[in-house]
Amino acid sequence: MLLGLKAATYRIGTTVLLDQVDFSIEERERVALVGRNGTGKSTLFRILTGETTPEDGLVIKQDGIRMTCLEQAVPQEHDDTIFDVVAQGFGALGKHISMSRTLGPLDHDSLTPEQAKTLELAQHELGEHHGWHLESEVDQMLSRMKLPPDLPFAKLSGGMKRKVMLAKAMVSNPDVLLLDEPTNHLDIPSIELLEEQIRQFKGAVIFVSHDRSFMRKLATRVCDLDRGMLKSWSGGYEGFLKGKAEFLHAQEKANALFDKKLAEEEVWIRRGIEARRTRNEGRVRALMEMRKQFSDRRNVVGSAKVQVQEAERSGKVVAELTNINKQLGDLPILRNFTNTILRGEKIGFLGPNGIGKTTALKVLLGQLPPDSGHIKLGTKLEIAYFDQLRSQFNEEDTAVEIIGAGKEFITIDGQAKHVIGYLQDFLFTPDRARQPVRSLSGGERARLILAQLFSTPSNVMVLDEPTNDLDIETLELLEEKLMAYQGTLILVSHDREFLNQIVTRCLVFEGDGVVGDYVGGYDDWLRQRSTDPWANTGSKPNMPTAASSASPTIAPPAKKTKKLGYKEQRELEMLPALIEKLETEQEALVAKIGDPGFYQQEASVVTAAQARMVALDNELAAAYARWEELDG
């Protein structure tokens, strides 16, 4: 065991976050930690790292273990470059690595006395701690994460900052890597890159995530923190879903039997005086213990009760866009974009961060004018808009004030409902509902926006990154309601499973103002996409592998503009089968390497498998390139 807890207990006030919790992680395990928002997942992380001490119980660490942690919060102010921040992953040596890189290549005579002294100290410390190779390790990590070393950290987007902090956490090759919501604010190419890096990481990983696709691809085991109890399920995310459902069903049956027995004993204890004289004192003591157990029982936390109010149906055509052009500075957002959105469609916007999806939404909604082209909106539109920036709230207002607008009751589906009762449907306690917005967590802010959004009837709903900070139960309930929504839905999201469940069409921002139109959800787009869909975006995800939700299917060859010879035509016809064969082998090899016991085999077996994986990547890339060449 590398790291673990033994009978750990931790409370905040009267809330029990950890109740006699046992936990352990072995080498090369990848453990996903799940649970409702506020159940104590981040607290458990802090206890494992030593930042917080449990009230009772033990933290067990293997001697000499090295741990790093990627926290949810990303530092906003930072004067250093990306290289400097990642170098800090080596602790005190980080500053010396940066100084050696900055001052070392300069001519010694051009240095000021202070710079010369700084360089001398840096070189001494690196030599003393055998750290001359560390600069190249930082460079290699930056290359793998596709990060430019000299950009100022402070000027990066939130998603880029998280990538830098991840590189900082991983660069020292710790024995245990702890990741708290690593996919938050990352776009799909960055999430795929992160998945690849974690699969290649040789240490153990514990990660908190609500991204179901991410967990399906990476988790070898799932631990569920629920009402102070930590339960573990092997078999990855699917094993967790099955095990959790069986556990809750068994618990429900056991509680029903217990409650029936308790009710019978309560009837018995309340019998007449004569029965009391002859009653069994042992039975009385047992009843007292049952009462205590019932009092201590922590029932399942309620689920959010999302209700979507729908307005009168809109016209059949929601929007017609003809030859729309929009540019921000030097960045083309839309170039000659023509499309029609019909009533009832559920459309997903896909593309890397910064490519202009939110700007395109505002053009569509009439909040920004196009540079040229024509937009015709349909009739009877009632639009509800979820803002990814959470910017529509006054920070000093309370949830009650925001939803009620000065009134105690609001109208939901034609019926009056108390504001506090409505907010309780979105998991706000009366106390939290009266707190100012500035004190709310990210998850509470997201639920408040949904509460506001769904309190107003709509027939067109626009959701810009609605899944950030939502726990899995709330996500799944939101999915269910949006699938049943009869109006038109436009959704911007990097949550691949959320897109798969809901959207019927994807508009993919492919760079340089080009927007592709694909039928179906995210996996359907994977099957239809080109081999390099982000070629013009500056952000390229991995080629599909077995770890993808679905492998791409090679479409039948299109009509040629240039006639192929017999051998070339024959080669083109055989390439899809070859690619499928290579991907099948790759799928089996990825599963084999992902097994926790894989690296316990002979070194020669491990080396051979890794070499074959590299060869497969090269063969697939060559096959795709050849297919594209012949098909073009």
Q: What is the pLDDT of residues 240-250, one digit of tens each?
A: 888 888 887 78
Alpha helix segments (H runs only) across 391-441 = 399-404, 419-424, 430-433
Q: Are strands 488-492 and 346-350 parallel, antiparallel or unpaired?
A: parallel
Return the pLDDT at 554.
38
Single-letter amino acid, residue 203: G
Q: What is the pLDDT of residues 276-300, one digit of tens each?
A: 555 567 777 777 777 766 666 655 5
Q: What is the pLDDT of residues 578-606, one digit of tens each?
A: 887 887 787 777 667 666 566 567 767 76
Rounded CA-CA distance 74/157 in Å is 11
For 627, the 3-state DSSP assignment is helix
Return the pLDDT at 23.
94
Single-letter amino acid, residue 564: L
Residue 106 has pLDDT above 50, yes or no: yes
CA 4 remoteness from chain centre: 25
CB 57 within 8 A of CB 7: yes
Residue 558 has pLDDT above 80, yes or no: no
Task: For residue 189, give the nearest of 597, 534, 559 by alpha carbon.
Answer: 534
Q: What is the four-CA torsion angle of 31, 36, 42, 47, rounded to 10 degrees?
A: -70
Return the pLDDT at 538.
54
- Tokens 């976050």 found at: 17
Residue 324 has pLDDT above 90, yes or no: yes
pTM: 0.68
Q: What is the pLDDT of residues 460-470, one digit of tens each?
A: 989 888 887 77
Q: 500 Cβ partners below 8 Å, 6+ apart?
A: 521, 522, 523, 549
**What would the DSSP string read from start to end of 336-401?**
EEEEEEETT-EEEEE--TTSSHHHHHHHHHTSS--SEEEEEE-SS--EEEE-TT--SS-TTSBHHH
Q: 254 Cβ partners below 8 Å, 6+ apart?
A: none
Return the pLDDT at 542.
37
Rounded CA-CA distance 377/135 in Å is 56
Return the pLDDT at 29.
93
Confidence of residue 545 (pLDDT cuts 50, 70, 90): very low
The DSSP symbol for 272 reads -
Instruction: With residue 122 as reference, give the H or E element that holds it.
Output: helix 113-128
Q: How far are the Cα atoms of 154, 351, 504, 529 from residue 491, in angstroms, in the given order?
A: 29, 12, 11, 20
CB 42 within 8 A of CB 208: yes
On average, the pLDDT of the chain sits at 81
The encoded tokens of residue 59 equal: 């933290």
Confidence of residue 37 (pLDDT cuts 50, 70, 90): confident
CB 382 within 8 A of CB 311: yes
Rounded CA-CA distance 529/397 in Å is 46
For 179, the 3-state DSSP assignment is strand
Q: What is the pLDDT of residues 333-369, one digit of tens each?
A: 999 999 999 999 999 999 988 888 989 998 998 889 9
Task: For residue 593, give the nearest of 211, 173, 4, 30 by alpha carbon.
Answer: 30
Return the pLDDT at 89.
92
| Residue 598 burial (CB count, 10 A) | 14
Return the pLDDT at 3.
93
Return the pLDDT at 325.
95
CB 520 within 8 A of CB 505: yes
Confidence of residue 416 (pLDDT cuts 50, 70, 90): confident
Confidence of residue 175 (pLDDT cuts 50, 70, 90): very high
Task: For residue 201, give the nearest of 238, 223, 169 by alpha carbon.
Answer: 169
Give the rounded percent of residues in the chain with a pLDDT score beyond 90. Answer: 28
Q: What is the mean pLDDT of residues 406-429?
A: 83
Return the pLDDT at 557.
40
Residue 547 has pLDDT above 70, yes or no: no
Q: What is the mean pLDDT of residues 46-54?
A: 91
Residue 546 has pLDDT above 70, yes or no: no
Return the pLDDT at 386.
73
Residue 30 has pLDDT above 70, yes or no: yes
Q: What is the mean pLDDT of residues 231-248?
A: 86
- Tokens 């807890």 found at: 5
Return the pLDDT at 77.
62
Single-letter amino acid, residue 417: K
Return the pLDDT at 115.
87
Give the rounded percent of residues in the chain with a pLDDT score beyond 70. Answer: 84
420/289: higher pLDDT: 420
Return the pLDDT at 305.
63
Residue 55: Cβ-neighbour burial (10 angstroms; 0-12, 13-18, 19+): exposed
CB 495 within 8 A of CB 183: no
For 321, the 3-state DSSP assignment is strand
